[in-house]
Amino acid sequence: MLFNSYEFLFVFLPITAIVFWLARIHISLRVAVGWLVLASLVFYAWWNPVYVPLLAGSALVNFQLGIWLADAQRWRLTLLRLGLVWNIGLLAYFKYTDFFLASLNTVAGTQIPLPHIVLPLALSFFTFQKIAYLIDVYRGEVTVRKLGDFLLFVTFFPQLITGPIVHYRDIVPQIGLTPAKGPRAEDIALGLTLFSVGLFKKVLLADGIGVQVNALYQLAGKGEALDLFQSWTMALSYTLQLYFDFSGYSDMATGLARLFGIRLPQNFDSPLKSANMLEFWRRWHMTLSRFLRDYVYFPLGGGRGGLASKCFNMTVTFMVSAIWHGAGWTFVWFGVYQSTVVVINMLWAELRAWLRWGERVWWDHGLAIALNFFVWTGGLVLFRSDSVATALSVWSGMAGLHGAQLPQHWQHALGGLGEHLQAAGVQFAAGSHLLQAQQLLRIALLAVLAFALPNIYAFTARFDPVIRHDKLEVKVPRFAWQPNLLWGLIIGAMALLAACSLSNVSEFLYFQF
Q: Which residue type, as a one-letter code, is found at position 166?
A: V
- CB neighbour list of residue 162: distance below 8 Å, 6 or more residues apart: 122, 125, 246, 249, 250, 253, 508, 510, 511
DSSP secondary structure letter of residue 265: B
74 burial level (CB within 10 Å; 0-12, 13-18, 19+): exposed
Cβ count near 51 (within 10 Å): 18
Number of H helices, E strands in the chain: 24, 2
Contacts of 26-34 with C-beta under 8 Å, sequence gap 24+, read: 29/175, 29/176, 29/178, 29/180, 30/148, 32/178, 33/148, 33/149, 33/152, 33/175, 34/148
Is 325 among the residues known to form the active site?
A: yes
Inter-residue contact 36 to 5 (CB < 8 Å): no
- CB neighbour list of residue 314: distance below 8 Å, 6 or more residues apart: 297, 339, 342, 343, 346
Inter-residue contact 296 to 316 (CB < 8 Å): yes
Q: How far is residue 54's CA from residue 178's CA, in Å, rounded to a whole number?
A: 30
Inter-residue contact 206 to 248 (CB < 8 Å): yes
Residue 379: name the closest of 338, 339, 343 by CA.
338
Q: How far is residue 23's CA from residue 392's CA, in Å, rounded to a whole number?
A: 56
Q: What angle, 0 to 180 degrees and rounded to 10, lies between the N-to-C axes of helices 185-200 and 485-499?
A: 40
Inter-residue contact 67 to 145 (CB < 8 Å): yes
Residue 407: name the closest of 439, 429, 438 by CA.
429
Q: How far is residue 63's CA from residue 34's CA, in Å, rounded to a whole number?
A: 16
φ, ψ dihedrals at 478, nearest 5° = -60, -40
Torsion angle of C-alpha atoms 25, 28, 30, 31, degrees rounded to 10: -80
Catalytic residue among 167, 285, 325, 402: 325
Q: Which residue type, as a one-letter code, is found at position 219?
A: L
Tell me the catalytic residues: 325
